[in-house]
Amino acid sequence: MKRAILLTGASGTVGYQTLLQLLERETYTITVFDKKNEMSVKRLSPFSDRIEIVYGDITNTVDVEKIAANKDAVIHLAAIIPPIADEHPELAKKVNTEGTRILIEQLELQSPNTFFIYSSSISVYGDRLKTPYINVGDRLLPSKGDAYAVTKILAEKIIQNSNLDWTIFRLAAIMGGHKMSKLMFHQPLDTSLEIATPQDTARAFVKAINKQAAVSKRIFNLGGGESCRISYEGFLKRSFKMFGLGALNFPDKAFAEKNFHCGFYEDGDTLEAILNFRQHTLNDYFALENAKISPLKKAAASVFKRPVKWYLLKQSEPYESIKNDDKDLKELFFN
Ligand SMILES: O=c1ccn([C@@H]2O[C@H](COP(=O)(O)OP(=O)(O)O[C@H]3O[C@H](CO)[C@H](O)[C@H](O)[C@H]3O)[C@@H](O)[C@H]2O)c(=O)[nH]1
């Protein structure tokens, strides 16, 4: 008998890689659940003869009822992430926390023996600029105003209090596939950054299905490990060079000095020892990303690097807060 897997958020950055890796295995019957939009239809419909695709709203009990029956394992990735979560905190709470609650309730009713695998986030630890080595037992102290982190902490609690078997992975900085946004300037340049690629992250989720006993009722930090560590400044410098944008020459105060998250997962090897999910180093990440940029795009970026950087700087809220002498925001971003 094939095992029945439910994957929510299957068209997302991590979700899509997870789907591809689930499909590589013949042993699963796969149901995906996602919001219907251009991206999800484009990414999911090519697999319509191999998987069950259900479009719906994770915050709508009637929609969730339809997907909860007879599932052996659930990988729950559907969420609103920053920057949208920062702009619409109420929506993030509804989707990330209440959506998780509804899914759990329906699974408790219809698939009480399912194994629930959840993606939380490094943001739950808050600002770790001065104490960058993070362990899973550390205090959960989201950065000021980080509504997204709060939604993830509350969802973790709902899962831990449920009658299901579960595991929770707190994801490090997942790099690859996300668009550049104003978040770029929220992160202090001296942040200790550990990345993981979407492919490696997905591998952990997929491998967890067969390692239920080892990961059951435990929370893990998921990161790429030592070979995926760098400072945020170093990461941006390499990225700018790769995109053809030249030096990272933004004015003083373009980047925040505090109140973001990220760090190095001191205990990250615990999950690796169980799942053996890591295949990519930081160099692999840059090679993968570099392969996606056409030489034409690179050449264009090189020619237009000044206006591109001007445009980027305009997105910097820390820089704006100085220009506008906005006391509250200055206090949020600067020491
Ligand atoms: O109401 C919604 C909102 C979003 N989604 C889906 O959720 C997925 C989110 O994908 P993103 O690319 O936006 O997010 P990531 O894959 O980068 O996020 C992953 O990593 C994050 C932590 O880094 C979070 O933990 C998140 O739950 C997990 O999917 C998408 O398929 C999106 O369509 C829904 O199904 N319903």
Rounded distance between C-alpha atoms, residue 146 and residue 54, angstroms = 31
Query: Quick check: CB of 96 below 6 Å from ligand 1?
Result: no
The pLDDT tens digits of the residues spanning 54-97 come to 999 999 999 999 999 999 999 999 999 999 999 999 999 999 99
Confidence of residue 32 (pLDDT cuts 50, 70, 90): very high
Query: Quick check: CB of 78 below 6 Å from ligand 1?
Result: yes
Give the Cβ contact number of residue 136 at 10 Å. Answer: 17
Centre of ligand 1 to C-alpha 287, Å, is 25
What residues pair up with 192 in beta bridges, in sequence order? 231
Instruction: Please answer whether residues 198 and 13 qualify as being in contact, where contact means their C-beta atoms are separated by less than 8 angstroms.
Output: yes
Residue whose CA is at the smallest distance from ligand 1 atom 13: 12
Query: Quick check: CB of 67 below 6 Å from ligand 1?
Result: no
Ligand 1 atom closest to the Cα of residue 120 is: 25
What pLDDT, on the 0 to 100 scale, is given for residue 79? 98
- For 209, counting Cβ atoms within 10 Å of its Cβ (0-12 exposed, 13-18 middle, 19+ buried), the class is buried
Contacts of 118 (CB under 8 A, 6+ apart): 76, 100, 155, 156, 159, 166, 167, 168, 169
Centre of ligand 1 to C-alpha 228, Å, is 22
Centre of ligand 1 to C-alpha 216, Å, is 23
Residue 259 has pLDDT above 80, yes or no: yes
Query: Quick check: CB of 79 below 6 Å from ligand 1?
Result: yes
- The pick from 13, 53, 95, 261 for probing ligand 1's pocket by mutation, whose C-beta has the most ligand atoms within 8 angstroms, reads 13
Asked if the peptide bond before residue 83 counts as cis, ω within 30 degrees of 0, the response is yes
Centre of ligand 1 to C-alpha 96, Å, is 9
Centre of ligand 1 to C-alpha 10, Å, is 8
Write down the ipTM of this complex: 0.98
Ligand 1 atom closest to the Cα of residue 15 is: 16
What pLDDT, on the 0 to 100 scale, is given for residue 26? 86
Q: DSSP readout, 274-300?
A: HH------HHHHHHHHHHHS-HHHHHH
Query: Quick check: CB of 53 below 6 Å from ligand 1?
Result: no
Residue 178 has pLDDT above 80, yes or no: no
> Cα separations (Å) of 86 from 120, 128, 177, 251, 300?
16, 19, 19, 25, 32
- The pick from 6, 11, 14 for probing ligand 1's pocket by mutation, whose C-beta has the most ligand atoms within 8 angstroms, reads 14
Residue 177 has pLDDT above 90, yes or no: no
What pLDDT, on the 0 to 100 scale, is given for residue 158? 98
Query: Quick check: CB of 117 below 6 Å from ligand 1?
Result: no
What the chain holds in terms of domains, given with CATH numbers, is: 3-172+196-225 (3.40.50.720)
Q: Per mean pLDDT, which range of 179-183, 286-290, 315-319 is the poorest?
A: 179-183
Rounded distance between C-alpha atoms, residue 32 and residue 38, angstroms = 16
Per-residue burial over 311-327, b if 16 or more Cβ lie within 10 Å, else e, is ebeebbbbbbbbeeeee
- The pick from 77, 123, 168, 221 for probing ligand 1's pocket by mutation, whose C-beta has the most ligand atoms within 8 angstroms, reads 77
What pLDDT, on the 0 to 100 scale, is given for residue 1? 85
Instruction: Please answer whether residues 103 and 74 qualify as being in contact, where contact means their C-beta atoms are separated by less than 8 angstroms.
Output: yes
Rounded distance between C-alpha atoms, residue 154 and residue 96, angstroms = 9
Confidence of residue 49 (pLDDT cuts 50, 70, 90): very high
